[in-house]
């Protein structure tokens, strides 16, 4: 089993449509799909992300290339 963190940006008219589309596309393989949050196009293209993965309350180190 592999854990693959996924951040999906869906260009839809509203949060309900985005959540529905994510549910259709990702629920088959996803363990968790969280609620949609609004993100402007500018914010999406200039964003910096800090992703931390936890298993049993233990922070896992970043994967090496």
Is there a domain that residue 36 lies in?
Answer: yes
Backbone angles phi, psi at 56, to 5 degrees: 50, 45
Task: Give me the domain span that covers residue 40.
Answer: 15-60
- For residue 61, the model assigns a pLDDT of 84
User: Per the structure, how many domains does the chain have?
Assistant: 1
Is there a domain that residue 39 lies in?
Answer: yes
Backbone angles phi, psi at 33, to 5 degrees: -125, 115
Is there a domain that residue 50 lies in?
Answer: yes
Is there a domain that residue 5 lies in?
Answer: no
CB-based contact 39:10 (threshold 8 Å): no
Q: How confident is the model at residue 2 (pLDDT cuts 50, 70, 90)?
A: low
Q: How far apart are CA 62 and CA 65, in angstroms?
A: 9
- The pLDDT tens digits of the residues spanning 15-40 come to 888 888 888 888 777 777 777 778 78
Is there a domain that residue 6 lies in?
Answer: no
Does residue 60 surpass a pLDDT of 60? yes
Is there a domain that residue 65 lies in?
Answer: no
End-to-end alpha carbon distance in the chain: 18
Is there a domain that residue 1 lies in?
Answer: no
Mean pLDDT of the chain: 79
> Helices in the chain by DSSP H: which ranges?
15-26, 41-46
């Amino acid at each position: 089993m592999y854990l693959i963190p996924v951040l999906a940006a869906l260009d839809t008219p509203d949060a309900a449509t985005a959540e529905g589309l994510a549910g259709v596309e990702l629920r088959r393989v996803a363990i968790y799909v969280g609620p949609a949050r609004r993100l402007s196009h500018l914010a999406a293209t200039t964003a910096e992300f800090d992703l931390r993965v936890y298993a049993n309350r233990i922070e896992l180190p970043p994967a090496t290339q």
